[in-house]
């Protein structure tokens, strides 16, 4: 579900930027598997497992084709978008949470240095890396850097569950992380929370 939601967002950005079918498929793939790819390269797992797993590829490609067809057929109107946006948000948030968890697990299997830093970092990178690669390829400022509580939900979930990991074990950690990420993300969406923006001084 997470893979599909991420592929949908990649394909939509690509179409809005007027890319061709190849670009749409590349962006859908990159958004879906890019975070996991960066995580594996950083963790020294080469070739990255995501590049050896054909299921994700086929899913992302089918999604890209479906989104392209829906757009071209004119079925994506502003109203339609608002109707499906909650469905999309649910899939996307589940993706965010599960990608955070897989990233943390990869980090926990390494024994270097600080026991909290690497799992938390890899968790957040897995969750938001695909979206950042998508935005860089599409020449947009990465959305996670200025908007919404998104990466922050992933970060808080990873941090808290990682700190409590010695007391609650692996399944407890995964569930705790899932609950925190989903809870924070939906609270933020529902109440319209945003992070503080430091303002450039107007008298500069």
Where along the sequence are the contacts to a second copy (CB under 8 A)?
Answer: 14-24, 26-27, 37, 41-44, 46-49, 51-54, 57, 67-69, 71-72, 74-78, 81, 110, 112-114, 117-118, 121, 132, 136-142, 144-147, 151-152, 155, 194-201, 203-204
Which residue, 171 or 202, is less far from a second copy as judged by CB? 202
Report d(CA 1, CA 122) in Å as an integer: 21
Distances (CA, A) of 142 to 39, 44, 128, 136, 147: 18, 25, 10, 7, 9
Q: Which position has the token pair 């992302």?
A: 60
Q: For residues 151 and 185, what is the distance between their CA atoms, to the nearest angstrom?
A: 9
| Least gap, CB of 124 to a second copy (angstroms) | 9
Query: Which residue reads 């690669």 in tokens?
Result: 133
Least Å from the CB of residue 60 to a second copy: 12
Least Å from the CB of residue 94 to a second copy: 21
Of 136 and 179, which CB lies nearer to a second copy in the complex structure? 136
Pick the closer one to a second copy by CB: 140 or 175.
Answer: 140
Question: For residues 88 and 65, what is the distance between their CA atoms, to the nearest angstrom?
Answer: 17
Closer residue to a second copy, CB minimum distance, 8 or 144:
144
Comparing CB distances to a second copy, the nearer of 166 and 171 is 166
Do 100 and 177 touch, CB atoms closer than 8 A? yes
CA distances 83 to 38, 66, 73, 87, 121, Å, are: 33, 18, 18, 8, 35
């Amino acid at each position: 579900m997470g893979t599909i939601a991420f592929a949908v967002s990649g394909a939509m950005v690509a179409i809005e930027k007027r890319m061709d079918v190849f670009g749409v498929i590349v962006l859908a793939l990159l958004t879906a598997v890019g975070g996991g790819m960066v995580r594996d390269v950083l963790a020294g797992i080469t070739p990255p497992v995501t590049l050896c797993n054909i299921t994700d590829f086929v899913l992302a490609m089918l999604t890209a084709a479906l989104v392209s067809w829906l757009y071209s057929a004119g079925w994506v109107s502003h109203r339609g978008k608002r109707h499906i946006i909650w469905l999309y948000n649910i899939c996307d948030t589940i993706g965010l949470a599960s990608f955070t968890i897989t990233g943390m697990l990869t980090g926990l299997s390494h024994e270097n240095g600080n026991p909290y830093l690497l799992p938390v970092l890899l968790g957040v990178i897995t969750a938001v890396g695909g979206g950042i690669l998508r935005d860089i390829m599409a020449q947009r400022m990465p959305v996670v850097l200025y908007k919404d509580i998104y990466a922050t939900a992933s970060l808080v979930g990873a941090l808290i569950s990682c700190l409590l990991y010695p007391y609650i074990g692996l399944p407890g950690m995964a569930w705790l992380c899932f609950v925190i990420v989903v809870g924070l993300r939906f609270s933020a969406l529902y109440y319209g929370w945003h992070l503080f923006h430091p303002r450039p001084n107007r008298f500069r």
